[in-house]
Every structure is written in C-alpha cells, then in structure tokens.
Amino acid sequence: MAKILVVDDEAELLEMIRMVLQRRGDHQVVLSAEGADALAQAFADPPDLAIIDLMMPGMTGYEVCRQLRANPSTVSIPIIILTARAQPVDREAALDAGADAYMTKPVTMTELVERVDTLLAKRAAEKQPMFAGMIVLMSLRGGVGVTTLAVSLAATLAQAGGGAACLVDLCPSSGHVALQLGLRPEPNWSGLIQATDLNTQVVEGHLLQHGSGLRVLASPIFPIVGQRVPQAMMQTVLSILLQRFPAVVVDLPSVLNDITMTALQAASGVGLVVTAEAPSIQTTIGTLRVLKQWSAKLRIILNQVTPGSQPPTEAIERTLNRSLVGAIPFDPAQARALARGAPLALNNPDSPLTQAVQELLVKVS
C-alpha cells in the first residue's frame, strides 16, 4: 500500500482515480483540485507517488512538478503527468520539469494502475538503504563531534533511502540533534516514559519530521532529574524503530548506563568517535577495554573538529592498536550550516565532509 497524491480540477475524474487505486491497490489516496493545495499537502506529509494534471487554475502542473523536485522531502517521489494535452512539446516540457511518466487522456484505469505499480516498484528498489540496521555513535569524552556526525550520517541515509531512516537522540540532559536540524524538540522521548501501551502508533506520534524525510526521536528539552529512564521502555522503543525503519542512527550520551548499554547491545555497528587530541585518545583506549565484549562491532572514526594539521593516522592507529574506518575532515562551513539547521550532508553534496560521511556509511556496518 502506498500514499498517492492525485491533482486534477475534474472532480469526477478525481473520484474515479481514488476508487480504482483504493480497490485495486489498497492505496491511500489524497485528492487536490489545485496546485498550491497539492504542494501544501505534499510538503506536510510526503506521498509515495503523485499523479498531476497539467492545466489547472492558479498553478500549472509544470510548476507543481518543479516545486516537488526542488523540495528535499519530495525530490525523489515518482510523478505521473495525466493530461489531455498530447503534443510532443508538452510531453518534453513535463519531463524537463521532473515528471517520470506522461499519459494522455482518455486513459484506461488499467493502464494507469499498471504505470503506478511500475513506478512504485522502481522506487522501492531505489530506496534500499546504504545501510540496514542500527548504527550507534558514541564517545565517553564530550566535544568530539558525536552529535554532528550522527546528524550527518542520518541525513545522508535519509536522502539515499528516500527518507527511510530515523535518528534517535538518547541524551537525557537536553541533546542537540533537533537543534542541529532546525527542529523544535517537542514531542520527545520523555513522553514515552509514562506510556502504558508502547506500540508503533504511540512511538510514531513522538517522532519529529524533518524536511529531508528523516524522522527524529528527540531528547527532552529539559534535563531529566531524579527519574530513572526505564530500560525496558527503551528496549521496546528501539525494537519498534528497527521494525519501522530500515536504518536507525543513535546518538549516545557520554556515559555508560543501562540505556546506553541497551543501545550498544541492539546495534549492528558502533562508531567510536575520537579526535587527535591526547585526552580523546586516552578515553578511547579506556572505552575499547571496557567494551571489549563488543569489539567485533566497534568501528573507530577519526573526527577533526578544529582547523589545522593532524597527526598521521598511522600514529593514532598504533596508539589505539586499532585501525580507523574513516576520517572526517574539518569544514568551517559545517558550523555555519548547523546554525541554520541545515547540515552540509543535506545541502552540499560536493563538500569533502559530506563525501567522507558517505564513504563512512559502508564501513560502519
């Protein structure tokens, strides 16, 4: 079942398409009679596919296509143009605007359903994530860029997988994941502590939606004081998210407690973040010793958080007695991008930092 947006100013045709798609494909169908309303609905809750007429009051289908392609949350959805205009020049203009398919009226409902099914199947194949499972990012020393790296990894996964990724901020003392993405952290996981029936619907209700399609389980705005976060609750939440999303990224706080140990246990891969400074290296050596039971899934990531030259990676590897799986370069533009709630991984694919994050994804699993 898919969510399909149908945009046409012919009311009878809208209802016919809705009925056919619901009956033959069990799809959820959202209808709109004009372009501005269609875009508002698409950006608020992105569909899996859109069927759009060309000639409508207020805004043409060409412009609707262009705006859908320009928005990160809808950039990759399949678009079918369904129109009475049959001239080759119209077809070329629609494809140039971003349409995937061009169908002329009158069209049989069987032909339309077959085209919908073909495009949905193609998108499903393309949405296979770069990584499947749960990646945990951590360091027992603060200030090494764990949160920024977690945001970058999750944003990259969301773009590559059409939004099929979730980012979890497990900091109990006001984490910064939502801030870096320009989101207000309400709701957040503190609302799940008192839930009597934790299920997929309840957890979904506590997720934030980013414009890229990334879903976010934010940490509490205010630090949790004097209240123990139930380990069983967090186990259930992570299990639900792993069933709901192909890829989950978790930003761990700089402490080993019941909650962080739960996440480490469930993780497919653990990214242990280190900088080239002596205190960070010393902490990492101790962390490797404490977490030796999970040595096989620990991956050490060198993160450069300040400008200037770095020691040779070989020297750091000798000191840690472990190989590095990747090195993330310093990029002064990242701090400015995060201040705008727009990490480089989403807005600057040519950045060396973004490219290093993409390469890292295939190595942390």
Q: Distance between CA atoms of 235 and 248, rounded to whole angstroms?
A: 14
Assign 172 to helix, strand or coil: coil
CA atoms within 13 Å, Cβ hemisphere of 283: 19
Q: What is the pLDDT of residue 341?
A: 86
Q: Are 167 and 215 in contact (CB under 8 A)?
A: yes
Assign 87 to helix, strand or coil: coil
Split into its structural domains, the chain has a count of 2
Q: Please give the distance of CA 56 from its chain centroid, rounded to a whole number.
A: 33
Q: What is the pLDDT of residue 76?
A: 84
Residue 122, CA distances (Å) to 28, 49, 118, 162 in order: 19, 11, 6, 12
- Stated as kind and residue range, the H or E segment containing 208 is strand 208-209
Beta bridge partners of 219: none
Q: What is the pLDDT of residue 125?
A: 67
Q: What is the pLDDT of residue 92?
A: 92
Residues 118 and 137 in one domain: no
Residues 152 and 84 in one domain: no
Residues 182 and 90 in one domain: no
Residues 27 and 70 in one domain: yes
Q: What is the pLDDT of residue 128?
A: 54
Q: Distance between CA atoms of 170 and 32, rounded to whole angstroms?
A: 39
Q: What is the pLDDT of residue 317?
A: 94
Residues 105 and 137 in one domain: no
Question: For the chain, where are the alpha helices, taking DSSP H only?
Answer: 11-25, 35-44, 61-70, 88-97, 109-126, 146-160, 177-180, 200-204, 231-244, 258-266, 278-290, 313-320, 332-339, 344-347, 352-361
Q: Which of 81, 99, 126 is the last residue of a domain?
A: 126
Q: What is the pLDDT of residue 126?
A: 64
* DSSP, residue by residue, 36-80: HHHHHHHHHS--SEEEE-S--SSS-HHHHHHHHHHSTTTTTS-EE
Q: What is the pLDDT of residue 196?
A: 84
CATH number of the domain that residue 290 is part of: 3.40.50.300
Residue 8, CA distances (Å) to 16, 33, 237 in order: 12, 5, 40
Q: What is the pLDDT of residue 223?
A: 85
Q: Which of 126, 154, 173 is the last residue of a domain?
A: 126
Q: Distance between CA atoms of 333 and 310, rounded to whole angstroms?
A: 19
- How many CB atoms are closer than 10 A to CB 323? 11
Assign 299 to helix, strand or coil: strand
* DSSP, residue by residue, 216-261: EEPPPSS---S-PPPHHHHHHHHHHHHHH-SEEEEE--SS-SHHHH
Residues 146 and 117 in one domain: no
Residues 235 and 104 in one domain: no
CATH number of the domain that residue 60 is part of: 3.40.50.2300
Q: Would you write out the chain's pLDDT as a tens digit for each of its 365 residues?
A: 789 999 999 999 999 999 999 998 889 999 999 999 999 999 988 999 999 999 888 899 999 999 999 887 888 899 999 999 889 999 999 999 999 999 999 889 999 999 999 999 888 766 655 567 899 999 999 999 999 999 999 988 887 765 578 999 999 988 999 999 999 999 999 999 888 889 999 999 999 999 888 999 999 998 887 667 889 999 999 999 999 998 999 999 999 999 999 999 999 999 999 999 999 999 999 999 999 999 999 999 999 999 988 899 999 999 999 999 999 999 999 888 888 888 888 888 788 898 898 888 777 76
Residue 338: CB partners within 8 Å, gap ≥ 6? 148, 151, 180
Residues 107 and 44 in one domain: yes
CA atoms within 13 Å, Cβ hemisphere of 27: 23
Residues 209 and 68 in one domain: no
Q: Which of 89, 108, 126 is the last residue of a domain?
A: 126
Residues 103 and 203 in one domain: no
Q: What is the pLDDT of residue 163?
A: 59
Residue 41: CB partners within 8 Å, gap ≥ 6? 5, 30, 32
- How many CB atoms are closer than 10 A to CB 159? 21
Range of the domain at 350: 133-361
Q: Are 226 and 254 in contact (CB under 8 A)?
A: no
Residues 223 and 107 in one domain: no
Q: What is the pLDDT of residue 351?
A: 87
Residues 61 and 138 in one domain: no
